[in-house]
Chains A and B, each alone.
Chain A
Amino acid sequence: MTTTFERQSVTSTTQGGLNDRSLGWLRFLWDKATTDDDWSDQGEPHQWWDRYSEPPMCSFPRFDLAMVGYVLPMMLEATPAWREGYTRILDEIARRYVTFWGAIDWNTLIGPDPGVDKYPPEWLMVAPEHLRGRYSLPGWTGNGIEPWGLQPDPVGCDGNLFYRGWLNLLLSMRHYVSGQPTQHVAFDVSGYQNRQFSWTHQRIAQFISDQLTARPQGAHCENTKIWPFCMSAAGLGLKLYDSLLHTSLNEPFLDWIAFAKKHYMGRDRRGRIDWVALYYDPIENATMAFPGPLNAYSALCLLHYLYPQDPQLAIDLYESATRQLGWSNPKVPVVQLADDPQMLSNALWMAREIGDTTTWERLRAVSESQFEPRYFGKDNSRFAYWLDRGESWPRGQLNATMMMIECAAPGAWSRVFTSPNTTMYTEPTVCDIDYPLIGIRRTHNDIERRVLEIDTYAATPSRRGTATTFTVDNLPDRAHVSLHIDGRACETWRRSDAGAVAIDVGADTHQIRLTYS
């Protein structure tokens, strides 16, 4: 395994397609998603699912599931005509999400936290100063405590917003990527003592929205903490749901933003944000905010979720955070106060989004030199940031955000939520492709000229050249078709249906041009 920089210089674009890093990460995502493992109470997830990062609040494998798919709707900008591979990955993620291990915190961290005075000092720092040593830390969900009682359904409960909020976001992304309106399809969620609870995507989204309407402070995650971070993710899931289904479930979240600006953050005399709550406990009436510049971390974790919903607030938070940490100041070195690469990756992503080249270049230099970007696996066909820690697998949560930088042009993440490309569902589409034998780097539908362009590559280099077949459907019925591969006219296609053709090709780098009329 070697560190490889020469294969990478620019990030993905719609015109150029997915870059090598994105393709390598996609290949590893495929491995993770399609390799069977047991997420029941009798098993244990494969160790490559990240249940280590961001303790104590995010060190559960669900957070890997929740975040790892973010790149997939963004990748659609480069490959709008190939979606089935991404859909398969999201299906495998969603299948795990609703298992015992998906909700292991709500299902097993029952009752009062027995470790309040046993956690390491570093962890005690995420409790409000006056409560340290006698207060349940973030991550201890405390299902079963008074006054809430035992609520066995991980979705249908007063707390646990971070479960259903990200589930809704995941299902909304799955809807967008697949184009399949499955919001009324019932599925089971595994709860306390393995009891199964039936839900639909529509009911979850409506339930979240109703809770936000009734609870202006926001819904709880752990008993009893309200996190701007989780609220923002829940709001984002609702926003995508609204964009796809023309509902207005996100509206109460916008009201919550107004509430949060007033109660969960403060500004200095110059109007700059100078503190943000990490969380608020309504029973203790306690706000957790890191002191001094470390407070920036509470702001950085919100950026991905708020930027598509309230761009100006996200920019204010970003500017506040990078100023406090000195990351935007070229006169001082980039100091990472916390041993938490995810915060730097969040800032790096935002710097790129808003064109803050000074901060981008400073932070990018850090990520390239310290986050150990490298290809790995058979034929070096997988890619991830390894963090130079000698671990067996790359961290899912960090890579989920770092790869958002690699996989699409700036603005792609916001466009997923504000202007999703729903016309792609009716345009010519690549399907039945034998991924990962052959992969898709780029597709482009030129509707006016009636041309579908497809750039392929050998996703499994050791099988390069192997003959394979894929289909293009959504073509006009009985369309006249001509095929060019690498600039040469080809007859290696046949009509497989009235509106579909099958194309034979070798698994390799090809530029395929399908003209139909």
Chain B
Amino acid sequence: MADAALRTLLWLLGQCIARGSRYMPSLRSQITRTMTFELSAGERVARHWVFDAQLRRATTYSGHASAPDCAVHINSSWQALRALVSPVTVDKIVRGLHEGTVELHGSAFVLLWFHGLTRKFVKLGRPDGPRHRIPGAYIAHDPAACGAETIVIEPAVVRLDPTWTGAWKARSTLSTVRACTDEPMLEP
């Protein structure tokens, strides 16, 4: 029973993400690496997603992937169902990691990223944060906010000065810039 329900849920999530990757800009813009993510439970349920960074598309398949980049295995389908339909999915997965009932191969941040994709279709719970607008926003320059100092402000620009070649060369070595070229990077 739990196996069937989980299979159905994963199929549904699979289809949502795969179809959403065709037309949802907010989902396509997050498919930035070609990689495979797998979620499995017990001994009979498994599904994986293949993300294609070139096409910004996802496809999904039943069963195990041959070499997933990130794989989560949950001890039982029942436990997986309870975690996936919970408003505190991440808490339940982490508890499983502590108790040894969940295995994670790969980055926890990729798992969270995938969880974020699923929440575009099934939004259970809400992200932590204040439930009110935070007062006192400083959203435009105010000379009175600088004490005795004066801030030099010049017109807005959209890119680094093209003639400052030394700066361009130095910038190209930064992780922030290199990360956009598919170079493997450390986790946050």
- Give the residues in chain B near A41, CB-CB below 8 Å: 164, 166-167, 170
Which residues from chain B contact A216 at a C-beta distance below 8 Å? 135-136
Contact check, A156 vs B98: say whether CB atoms are below 8 A apart.
no
Which of these, B30, B128, B155, contacts A291 with CB under 8 Å? Answer: B128
Q: In this assembly, does A448 line the interface, its C-beta being within 8 Å of a C-beta of chain B? A: no
A158/B151 in contact, CB under 8 A: yes
Known contacts A124-B32, A280-B134; is-contact A108 B160 (Cβ 8 Å): yes
**B109 adjacent to A55 (CB under 8 Å):** no
A271 within 8 A of B: no
Q: Separation in Å of the B111 CB from the closest CB of chain A?
A: 9
Whole-angstrom distance from the CB of B40 to the nearest CB of chain A? 20
Given the complex of chains A and B, what is the CA–CA distance between A46 and B159 in angstroms? 27
* A193 part of interface (Cβ distance < 8 Å): yes
With A117-B30, A292-B91 in contact, is A56–B176 under 8 Å at CB? Answer: yes
The answer to whether B32 touches A211, judged by C-beta atoms less than 8 angstroms apart, is: no
Query: Contact: B138 with A215, CB < 8 Å?
Result: yes
Does A51 belong to the interface (CB within 8 Å)? Answer: yes
**With A and B bound together, what is the CA distance between A132 and B128 in angstroms?**
16
Q: By the criterion CB–CB under 8 Å, are B30 and A133 in contact?
A: yes
Beta-carbon contact of A109 and B176 below 8 Å: yes
CB distance from A370 to the nearest CB of B (A): 16
Which A residues are CB-close (under 8 A) to B113? 121-122, 124-125, 132
A217 at the interface (CB under 8 A from B): yes
Tally the A-B contacts, defined by beta carbons under 8 Å.
286
Q: A263 to B110, Cβ gap below 8 A?
A: no
A116 at interface, CB cutoff 8 A: yes
| Interface residue range, chain B | 35 or more
B156 x A108 contact (CB < 8 A): no
**Complex CA distance for A455 and B143, rounded to whole angstroms:** 54
Does A413 sit at the interface, judged by CB under 8 A? no
Measured CA separation A152–B33 after assembly (Å): 35
CB of B1 closer than 8 Å to a CB of A: no
- Cα distance, A382 to B28, chains bound together (Å): 49
Q: Do A266 and B128 have beta carbons less than 8 Å apart?
A: yes
Minimum CB–CB distance from A216 to chain B (whole Å) comes to 4
Q: Which candidate, B6-14, B72-80, B179-187, is the interface stretch facing chain A?
A: B179-187
Say which one of A99-107, A303-311, A437-445 lies at the interface with B. A99-107
Nearest-neighbour CB distance to chain B for A166, whole angstroms, equals: 18
> How many Å lie between the Cα of A285 and that of B176 in the bound state?
24
Given contacts A207-B149, A291-B112, contact A55 B176 (CB under 8 A): yes
Report which of A59, A289, A329 forms a contact with B175, defined as CB distance below 8 A.
Answer: A59
Q: Are B109 and A289 in contact (CB under 8 A)?
A: no
Contact string against A for B residues 144-160, beta-carbon threshold 8 Å, 1 for contact and 0 otherwise: 11111111111111111
CB-contact partner of B129 in A126, A209, A224, A289, under 8 A: A289
Contact flag A210-B180 (CB < 8 Å), given A156-B152, A292-B88? no
Q: Which of B26, B99, B119, B151 has the most chain A CB atoms inside 10 A of its CB?
A: B151
C-alpha spacing A285/B109, complex, angstroms: 24
Of the listed stretches A22-30, A85-93, A334-342, chain B binds A334-342
> Is A313 an interface residue, CB under 8 A from the partner?
no
- 8 A Cβ contacts from B113-150 to A: 113-116, 119, 127-130, 133-142, 144-150
| Complex Cα–Cα for A40 and B164 (A) | 13
Stretch of A142-150, A358-366, A373-381, A494-502 lying at the B interface: A142-150
Could you tell me if A149 and B141 are in contact, using CB atoms closer than 8 angstroms?
yes
Q: Are B186 and A53 in contact, with the CB atoms below 8 A? A: yes
Q: Tell me whether B160 and A338 are in contact (CB under 8 A).
A: no
Q: Could you tell me if B146 and A207 are in contact, using CB atoms closer than 8 angstroms?
A: yes
Residue B67 is within 8 A (CB to CB) of chain A in the complex: no
- How far is it, in angstroms, between the C-alpha of A329 and the C-alpha of B95 when the chains are bound? 12
Distance to closest chain B CB from A391 (angstroms): 11
A210 & B134 in contact (Cβ 8 Å cutoff): no
Does A239 make an interface contact (CB < 8 A)?
no
Task: Give B163-178 as 1s and 0s: 1 = Cβ < 8 Å from A's Cβ atoms.
Answer: 0101110110111110
Going nearest first, the 6 A-B pairs with the smallest beta carbon separation are A210-B147, A133-B29, A292-B90, A41-B166, A275-B128, A214-B145
Interchain Cβ contacts under 8 Å between A and B, 28 examples:
A44-B173, A59-B174, A108-B160, A114-B180, A119-B179, A119-B180, A120-B33, A120-B185, A122-B109, A122-B185, A122-B187, A132-B26, A133-B26, A147-B156, A150-B156, A153-B151, A153-B152, A206-B148, A210-B145, A211-B145, A214-B138, A215-B136, A287-B128, A287-B129, A289-B129, A290-B112, A292-B90, A295-B128
Known: A110-B158, A153-B151, A153-B152. 19 other contacts (CB 8 A): A115-B176, A121-B30, A122-B110, A122-B113, A122-B185, A134-B26, A139-B175, A139-B176, A144-B157, A147-B139, A193-B161, A210-B148, A259-B136, A263-B130, A285-B134, A290-B128, A329-B98, A339-B187, A340-B188
Binding site for A on B (CB under 8 A): 25-30, 32-33, 35, 88-91, 93-94, 97-99, 107-110, 112-116, 119, 127-130, 133-142, 144-161, 164, 166-168, 170-171, 173-177, 179-181, 185-188
List the interface of chain A (C-beta within 8 A of B).
40-42, 44, 51-57, 59-60, 100-101, 104-105, 107-112, 114-126, 128-130, 132-134, 137, 139-140, 144-153, 156-158, 192-193, 197, 203, 206-207, 209-211, 213-217, 220, 224, 259, 263-264, 266, 274-275, 277, 280, 282-283, 285, 287, 289-295, 326, 329, 332-333, 335, 337-340
